[in-house]
Structure 1
Amino acid sequence: MKISPKLAFFAIVSTLAYLGLAIWGLGGFAAFFAHAPLVIIALATLVMAIASLFTEVNLSSGEREDRGNRWVLPAFGVIGLLSGYLPAYTDRIDFWTFGGEGVRWLGALLFIVGGALRMWPVFVLGKRFSGLVAIQPGHRLVTDGIYRRLRNPSYLGMLVIAVGWALGFRSTVGLLLAALTVIPLIARIHSEEALLRAQFGSEYEAYCARSWRLIPGVY
């Protein structure tokens, strides 16, 4: 698979910038890397960035797009920037923090689990995985494997990552930002489901009837 130079550049720069915000927020390299769980989170972040280079994720509007949902992209961007810095900063000044190293280790574990859940569907969907809410050429439903009982496993992974990141810094503010992510995320899910329902009709309705939207047994 040929790796796009633009994708590689964006993945590397955005990842380093995100980690840079956290290192800055916590007070520098020495303070950040003094915590083994945060070292693991940093390594997991780099692994996900490298793995993304071997996917076919894109920003193609495909054959049909819900352009009205594009507002979620800057929303995710703003929340992401705040999440990169504020949890680490509140950890440094001990504002609304809780627990100790055990909480950090739990955060590292959740971050890794969330990362796997986030990336697995990206590889499964290939070119159908777009940053936009769109129907791609040759689009078909995937209703087996990781998608058998859960319609949005990658989005669940995104939330688990956010919670893991917050716990890595023992940050209540980080948890609030993770909760805030749910607003644009649910809006995106509803837009995607409306588009898929219009595209696949009864096939998609039947799939919805036997699967969960985001959290198995809950929603």
Structure 2
Amino acid sequence: MTVPPGALVLRAVGGSALLAEVPDARSALALYSRLRAQPSAPPALDGVIDVVPAERTVLVTFDPALTDAARVRRWLQEAAAAPETPGAGRAQQRVEIPVTYDGSDLDDVARALGLTVGELIALHTTTRWTAAFIGFAPGFAYLTGDDDGRLTLPRRATPRPAVPPGSVALAAGYCGVYPRESPGGWHLIGRTDALLWDARRDDPALIAPGTDVRFVDAG
């Protein structure tokens, strides 16, 4: 996916960062993946410190002593316009997450989507999910799916004051897994024992941006 001409907006953030604004989460993930698809990591452009995707932005931080904003700006523009090359970049990470589908909102979600509970579970487990960005809490990945919007519903009208850790939830076109107990307004459809965040691991987050996620019905 390339960013359409004129859709990329670059804004300076102080003297050591540029914020790229794009139309949607898929464009942000595509730009992030292209910037990271270099022979080395962190990104191969000398002086770049980090690349951080969000829902419709990608933040690039850099060391002004090693590069300058104009060079980073050109790097972003070239990446946004470059045609997608199948198989290019780093090998995509894949994670399978076992889920017990007994969430307190499961029946309501199925009814709202015009599905039976069995159909909802089947659709959720056959959808290919991709981590677009991390936010809200350490390890909380916003997952986009190839379900053509069939699993899209708004957030709950009334958020819960406490959502149990490991809760698998849907809202606003995303799926997510709560890494710890926290307030939340997403619809709970199941739970998992997978540890989404563990500071003792070399990579604390189980799911990083760009990770391919599959949910498996644990029965």
Q: Same fold (TM over 0.5)?
A: no
What TM-score do you get using the length of structure 2 for normalisation?
0.23
RCO comparison, higher one (Cα < 8 Å, 6+): 1
More strand by share: 2
More helix by share: 1
What TM-score do you get using the length of structure 1 for normalisation?
0.23
